Amino acid sequence: MPSERESGTARDQKVVLLKPRGFCAGVVRAIGVVRLALERYGAPVYVRKEIVHNRHVVEELRRAGAVFVEELDEVPAGARVIFSAHGVSPAVREGARRRGLGVIDATCPLVTKVHLEAVRYACQRFTIVLIGHQDHDEVIGTLGEAPECTVVVNSVEEVDRLEPPDPERICYLTQTTLSLDETSDIVARLAERFPAIQGPRAQDICYATQNRQRAVKAAASRCDLLLVVGSQNSSNSKRLVEVARRSGLEAHLVDDAGEVEAGWCAPVQTVGVTAGASAPENLVRELVESLRKHGFEHVEEMALEEEDVRFALPPHLESASSRAGTPSS
């Protein structure tokens, strides 16, 4: 981090703290599922993949007794396993059933919505164009609902190479954590090539992803630099950096305050700070405190809108939540 002398006088420097930021309802629910499962059943509780894409969250839950595995064959037969917020394919669910695993499903309800849309379109014999990143856990799970009729695209150029068997029976769905701007370009090109294309009845990109991107756009003209708290494998966090850069704002993704490089802040008067939907607020506070110590003493919050979305826990954990006094959001 820069010293005060390197970066100007303290009274000239400030932090603009974007709101909304950080945890979305799906992440709150998923983390709550793991914590309550540990309370109710005791350690170990197995979790397939990272429950959410944040290194600090995963490490905290690991210390509490969660065991994170890549595949189900790492889980002892008959044990309890939690599916992550990103969802899984039907093949994974069937694999859990065959091995007699007790499944606790922490899939975000907004991801489940996309899965159900994929099933509905597949039953109608549509070609499904899934807009997203091929190797992302969420896309892998959605693709698994109807792999024989689904194609994943991530660019306008990939849309131009599509040759569906029936251009009159084609639809699109999207990963929930994409950039609104890039997705709109792809959807527009799909509509140009396939005028009969159908889309989801409601936007697939989740409310939290949209809100955080809009906040970044609104703050772009007020800041010289944006720091996004989030892990490198967090899709929605990476999109925030991309949105900022497309708005002409220098931006960097950091896991925590320790990853901020001195050269980023040296010429800067105003630093914007936000966090991806899987990044905990304590990491934001630690980053702000670190910036304070290096001259950015004035902190103001820029609130775009309030979020009040809550998702219920799985029914068999709701009673545990009530007994423990844990909120179900």
The arithmetic mean of pLDDT across residues 26-31, rounded, is 98
Compute CA distances 195 → 124, 153, 190, whole Å. Answer: 18, 18, 8
Distance of CA 2 to the CA centre of its chain: 31
The pLDDT of residue 2 = 43
* Higher per-residue confidence, 328 vs 42: 42
Of the candidates 222, 207, 230, the residue with the CA atom closest to the CA atom of residue 305: 207
258-293 pLDDT per residue, tens: 999 989 998 899 999 999 999 999 999 999 999 999
The pLDDT of residue 11 = 52
Residue 6 has pLDDT above 70, yes or no: no
Residue 163 has pLDDT above 70, yes or no: yes
The pLDDT of residue 12 = 79
| 314 cis-preceded (ω within 30 degrees of 0) | no
pLDDT-derived band at 322, boundaries 50, 70, 90: low
The pLDDT of residue 319 = 62
Burial class (CB in 10 A: 0-12, 13-18, 19+), 86: buried
Are residues 228 and 249 in contact, defined by beta-carbon separation less than 8 angstroms? no
Long-range CB pairs of 74-77 (<8 Å, 24+ gap) are: 74/46, 75/46, 75/48, 75/99, 75/101, 77/101
Compute CA distances 223 → 68, 215, 219, 322, whole Å. Answer: 39, 12, 6, 43
Residue 329 has pLDDT above 50, yes or no: no
Residue 295 has pLDDT above 80, yes or no: yes
Q: Beta-carbon neighbour count of residue 19 at 10 Å?
A: 16
Task: Give me the domains of the chain, ranges plus CATH numbers.
Answer: 4-23+207-303 (3.40.1010.20), 26-108 (3.40.50.11270), 110-193 (3.40.1010.20)
Residue 3 has pLDDT above 60, yes or no: no
Active site residues: 138
Q: What three-state secondary structure class fits 47?
A: strand
**Residue 300: partners with Cβ closer than 8 Å, 6 or more residues away:** 14, 15, 16, 17
Residue 193 has pLDDT above 50, yes or no: yes
Edge-to-edge strands of the sheet including 225-229? 250-254, 225-229, 270-275, 14-19, 298-303
- The pair of structure tokens assigned to 92 is 């994974």
| 20 cis-preceded (ω within 30 degrees of 0) | yes
The pLDDT of residue 5 = 35
DSSP letters of 179-238? -HHHHHHHHHHHHHH-TT-B--SS-SS-HHHHHHHHHHHHHGGG-SEEEEE--TT-HHHH
pLDDT-derived band at 151, boundaries 50, 70, 90: very high
**Residue 299: partners with Cβ closer than 8 Å, 6 or more residues away:** 14, 15, 17, 288, 292
pTM: 0.91
Of the candidates 286, 239, 296, the residue with the CA atom closest to the CA atom of residue 265: 296
Residue 127 has pLDDT above 60, yes or no: yes
The pLDDT of residue 321 = 56
233-261 pLDDT per residue, tens: 999 999 999 999 999 999 999 999 999 99
